[in-house]
Amino acid sequence: MNVLVKPIISEKMTKTADKYNRYGFVVDRKATKTQIKKEVEEIYGVKVVQVNTLIQRGKSSSRYTKAGMIQGQKNTVKKALVELRKEDKIDFFSNI
């Protein structure tokens, strides 16, 4: 089972990573904190201190177009904030 879906790369998460050594990931909805910790340690070769999770509920969205109003629904996602030891870092841009 692939627990990590993708890393969260935004301006806010970059500042959090620099200041607190905390990184964000979108994870599978059924993943537990221990599974997330194990997967991050295996993939990135770092030591995880703490894992916090949250579920961001999907919102309904609408927009106006030439054809009229289009309504839709955004997906519900589970996010994980992973805190590492002070000497560990994750570089998401090393493969580019």
* pLDDT at 96 (0 to 100): 67
Tell whether 78 is covered by a domain.
Answer: yes
Domain count, the chain: 1
Mean pLDDT, the chain, rounded, equals: 93
* pLDDT at 95 (0 to 100): 67
Tell whether 26 is covered by a domain.
Answer: yes
What's the mean pLDDT in 45-73? 95
Tell whether 58 is covered by a domain.
Answer: yes
Tell whether 52 is covered by a domain.
Answer: yes
> Model's pTM, two decimal places?
0.85
Question: Looking at the predicted structure, is the pLDDT value of residue 26 above 90?
Answer: yes
Count of residues in the chain: 96
* pLDDT at 84 (0 to 100): 96
What's the mean pLDDT in 18-35? 96
Strands (E), the chain: 4-7, 22-27, 48-56, 60-65, 68-73, 77-84
Tell whether 94 is covered by a domain.
Answer: no
- Identify the domain containing residue 73 by its residue range: 4-84
Structure tokens given for 83: 């805190």
Domain with 36 in it: what CATH number? Answer: 3.30.70.330
